[in-house]
Amino acid sequence: IYPDCPATTREVQVGGLTKMEVIQEFKRQSISMNVIGEKLFADQRLALSEVRYKLSTVELSIRTLGLPDCATSAQLYARADDIGVGICPLELGPFMRVRFTDQSDGRRITLSSEKISPGADVPAGFYLQRRREGLWLRGYTATDDYVWDAEEHFVFVLPGR
């Protein structure tokens, strides 16, 4: 159980680009988005910081958070709070996708984040995936009672870094 388990930490530079500049970088790197990801990225409530800053992140499975079988979104975020890791700002998704290009094929890495508004049809956040056709920043929908498998991987922000 975290912190006494293997975990992947990353320093990610966030901000300093407009949405148009991020899209240009996606095109340059052949990064794709699904329809939900495009909808979330285009939403005016997703603001990109004009100032660059660094975030220290940790990637953990639900099991290494101390939830051995599965967990709802609400349980997952409550447990993350209990162990002292934070929810990611929504803007981290596009910047992490641009910088994290050596992802293994198939594995999904979900970025913990607050939803931009309540509702089952509203995008809940982003996840990163590499498929045969390349790198993806994908959006997803999930309610607080959605059940995640214990092997799902989530990214959280480390405090004070």
Chain mean pLDDT for the chain? 94
> In the numeric block, which tokens belong to residue 46?
């997703």
Runs of H (alpha helix) within the chain: 19-28, 35-42, 73-83, 92-99
Alpha-carbon distance of 59 to 5, in angstroms, equals 11
Does the pLDDT value for residue 4 go beyond 80?
yes
Alpha-carbon distance of 59 to 111, in angstroms, equals 9
Over range 2-11, report the average pLDDT. 92
Range with lowest mean pLDDT among 112-121, 123-132, 152-161: 112-121
Does the pLDDT value for residue 62 go beyond 90?
yes
97-117: burial string, b at 16+ Cβ within 10 Å, e else = bbebeeeeeeeebbbbbebbe
Is 128 in contact with 24 (CB distance < 8 Å)?
Answer: no
Over range 67-84, report the average pLDDT. 93
Does the pLDDT value for residue 63 go beyond 80?
yes
pTM value is 0.94
Range with lowest mean pLDDT among 94-98, 116-120, 126-130: 116-120
Vertex 59 angle, CA 1 and 67, to 5°:
35
Q: How confident is the model at residue 51 (pLDDT cuts 50, 70, 90)?
A: very high
